[in-house]
């Protein structure tokens, strides 16, 4: 498993080499529209179901923007918003949000024990890999591999993504890694791990 993860990290990292170099200052001027849902700096979404995008990883943000624009990831709220933007615009937005800081959330104390166990050690009985393997021990992500920061993200958003991967509504992850992991999680595990990650820092 470690060799597979290492291979994926290298492959994803190399895939981003030829992408446009983002300019945070140019991205800042483009981000005004995004603020309506994601907050001025990308760290304070209007609703719990909208993600924080501040500091979650430039390569990851860029890939999501590209996938949403191309229809590989369906986000109804963003339909049409990205169509007028160029590849350079998307790179600039990603660069801007990388310079912003993720705000902290508070995990549900009753869910911390289960969430911590899953995040750090996975579930050997059901074949769930530890989240920390790709998202880091403090939820900081692995920027070079486009694995996003999950620490501090809204619990409701994290739970929705895990449920969407589980149901096949989202499938733009490398080699279906998240789909495979999510398919093995119970509803209780999704709730616990989403809460734990939201308070992780």
The answer to whether the CB of 88 falls within 8 A of the CB of 101 is: no
Q: Is 135 annotated as a binding residue?
A: yes
The answer to whether the CB of 136 falls within 8 A of the CB of 146 is: no
Q: Is 134 annotated as a binding residue?
A: yes
Instruction: Give the number of C-alpha atoms closer than 13 A to the C-alpha of residue 106, restricted to the C-beta side.
Output: 3
Q: Is 201 annotated as a binding residue?
A: no
Cα three-residue angle 69-75-78, rounded to 5 degrees: 65
Q: Is 1 annotated as a binding residue?
A: no
Positive or negative: CA dihedral 125, 131, 132, 134: positive
Report the C-alpha gap between 102 and 86 in whole angstroms: 26
The answer to whether the CB of 62 falls within 8 A of the CB of 22 is: yes
DSSP 8-class letter at 126: T
The answer to whether the CB of 166 falls within 8 A of the CB of 120 is: no
Q: Is 37 annotated as a binding residue?
A: yes
Q: Which of 123, 136, 135 is nearest to 185 (CA)?
A: 123
Phi and psi for 128 in degrees, rounded to 5?
A: -85, 125
Q: Is 131 annotated as a binding residue?
A: yes
Q: Is 124 annotated as a binding residue?
A: no
Please give the annotated binding residues, written as ranges: 34, 37-38, 78, 131, 134-135, 178
Q: Which residues are annotated as a binding site for heme c?
A: 34, 37-38, 78, 131, 134-135, 178
């Amino acid at each position: 498993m470690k060799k597979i993860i290492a291979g994926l990290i290298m492959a994803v990292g190399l895939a981003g080499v030829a992408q446009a170099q983002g300019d945070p200052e140019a991205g800042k001027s483009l981000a005004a529209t995004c603020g309506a849902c994601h907050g001025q700096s990308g760290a304070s979404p209007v609703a719990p179901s909208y993600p924080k995008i501040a500091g979650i990883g430039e390569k990851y943000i860029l890939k999501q923007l590209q996938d949403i624009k191309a229809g590989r990831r369906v986000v109804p709220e963003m339909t049409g918003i990205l169509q007028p933007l160029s590849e350079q615009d998307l790179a600039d937005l990603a660069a801007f949000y990388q310079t912003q800081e993720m705000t902290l959330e508070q995990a549900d104390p009753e869910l911390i024990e289960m969430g911590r166990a899953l995040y750090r050690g996975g579930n050997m009985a059901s074949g769930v890999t530890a989240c920390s393997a790709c998202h880091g021990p403090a939820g900081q992500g692995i920027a070079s591999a486009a694995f996003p920061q999950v620490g501090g993200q809204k619990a409701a958003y994290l739970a929705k993504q895990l449920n969407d991967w589980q149901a096949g509504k989202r499938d733009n992850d490398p080699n279906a890694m998240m789909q495979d992991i999510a398919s093995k999680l119970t509803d209780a595990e999704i709730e616990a791990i989403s809460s734990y990650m939201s308070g992780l820092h």
